[in-house]
Amino acid sequence: MDIILFLIFFAATCGAAATGMLFPTGEWYKSLNKPDWVPPDWVFPVAWTSIYLLISFAGARVAGLEGSAYAMAFWGMQIAFNALWTPVFFGLRALRKSLPVMACLWVAVLGCTITHFQLDLWAGLAFVPYLIWVTVAAALNLSVARLNPDQEPLEISSI
């Protein structure tokens, strides 16, 4: 595996990861009604760090292979929607507007998983935890949106 290539993909994931630090969860998130099965807080950074390392590895393994065009297009799509979700949910506190973002992320991750498997077994496997995790995250987003129907988004532009 080309380490420089890995580092460029990893730099991309750092852009997405930065949203977690810039838009922290805080008191507002604690105050929300959550389903019984909500994962404990410490799981989130552990899961995301592992996923970001795994998908950087997957990207670096697959990028140089013939026929990787779709895999790379989906890779770009997933990181864009990944970077978008946190500011929409934790920045705007838009529990419902974040749902179509999550849907696009889920489609992109499914596309990545399939296309990476077609090219390389290890790269495909590296996307499986991500697909599982965005499925959990999507269910959590939907559940939180339903359990907090009166929660209005923050109108940042009117502050």
Q: Is 155 left (phi over 0), alpha (psi -120 to 50) or beta?
A: beta
Least distance CB 55 / a second copy (angstroms): 10
Closest approach of a second copy to the CB of residue 139, in Å: 21
In the complex, least distance from residue 155 CB atom to a second copy, rounded to whole angstroms: 9
Closer to a second copy by CB, 26 or 36: give it: 26
* Residues contacting residue 86 through CB under 8 Å, at least 6 positions apart: 16, 19, 20, 23
Q: In this structure, how many other beta carbons lie within 10 angstroms of the beta carbon of residue 24?
A: 11
CA 130 from centroid of its chain's CA atoms:
8
Q: List residues binding a second copy (CB under 8 A).
A: 2, 4-5, 8-9, 11-16, 18-19, 22-28, 59-60, 63-64, 66-70, 72-77, 79-84, 87-88, 90-92, 94, 97, 101, 104, 108, 111, 154, 156-159
- Give the DSSP letter of residue 157: G
Of the two residues 92 and 140, which places its CB atom closer to a second copy in the complex? 92
Supply the minimum distance, in Å, between the C-beta of residue 7 and a second copy.
Answer: 9
Provide the angle, in degrees to the nearest 10, between the axes of the packed helices 121-147 and 98-119. Answer: 170
- Closest distance of CB 100 from a second copy, Å: 9
Decide whether 36 or 66 has the Cβ nearer to a second copy. Answer: 66
- Give the residue with the Cβ less far from a second copy, 90 or 133: 90
Q: Is 141 in contact with 99 (CB distance < 8 Å)? A: yes
